[in-house]
Amino acid sequence: MRKRIQPHIMCGIGDVAKYVLIPGDPGRVEIIAAFLDESQKIADYRGFVTYTGHKDGVDISISSSGIGCPSAAIAVEELAQIGAKVLIRVGTTGALQEYLEMGDLVIPIAAVRADGTSKSYVPVEFPAVADHSVTSSLLEAAKKINRKAHFGSVLSTDAFYGNLENLKLWSKFGVLSVEMETSVIYAISALKKLKAGAILAVDGNPLLGVGKGEFEPGEKTGEQDDRVKKAIEEEAKVAIDAIINMENSS
């Protein structure tokens, strides 16, 4: 039988590992792959970039989801079709609490489903919750490098340029930060019997007007801030270490 290829990620069975790291940015895939002992590029199509390699004898893939829940849903659906079992989103997030600083790490135990895509899968009452074993492994891996990680809920929304009053409301409810993909990754993973988690680097605070936004060439804001760039590398290393620990303890 000929190998069947998924229509968007352009991968088939055998191309991806059981463990998959999912950054939103396709440009970040190769950067994360460099932290593996060895890796190779599998596919690059319509913003879905996939590398597969290994670290300490454990096979790991990195596959980008693009921006937002509709694109992330496509990635999760197609990865599930070809053998992915454990998904970890590695991305960025905007703080909704003043004590969160640029470059801090957030490990979401749950996501507020303020997106539209997850509602196409399950009713609004269905919780978008991370797998306990994944979040526990991420926390332990962060502790190993003495990296403090905040633990709580995030807000997943479809609008990058959103309503600040709405963000203030969720901030009052204690939600740590806002981003655009985690809710649908958690929801679909639950439906597909996959294990999912996330680790996110704080790249600003929309309530304070800090972070991603208009900038001048050469200006270091958002993901170009040195603290954020370092955190993005650290979260990838933490996620890889968490995967190795999960595999060795299974």
pLDDT digits (tens, 9 = 90+) for 68-115: 999 999 999 999 999 999 999 999 999 999 999 999 999 999 999 999
Q: What is the pLDDT of residue 238?
A: 98
Amino acid type, 100? L
Helix axes 182-191, 69-81, angle to 10 degrees: 30
- By three-state DSSP, how is residue 8 classified? coil
Exposure b/e, 176-187, CB count within 10 A at least 16 = b: bbbbbbbbbbbb
Task: With residue 171 as reference, give the H or E element that holds it.
Answer: helix 164-172
pLDDT tens profile 135-147: 999 999 999 999 9
User: pTM of the entire structure?
Assistant: 0.95
Contact 86, 70 (CB under 8 A): no
Task: Count the alpha carbons within 13 Å of 158 in the hemisphere toward its beta carbon.
Answer: 11
Domains assigned to the chain: 19-249 (3.40.50.1580)
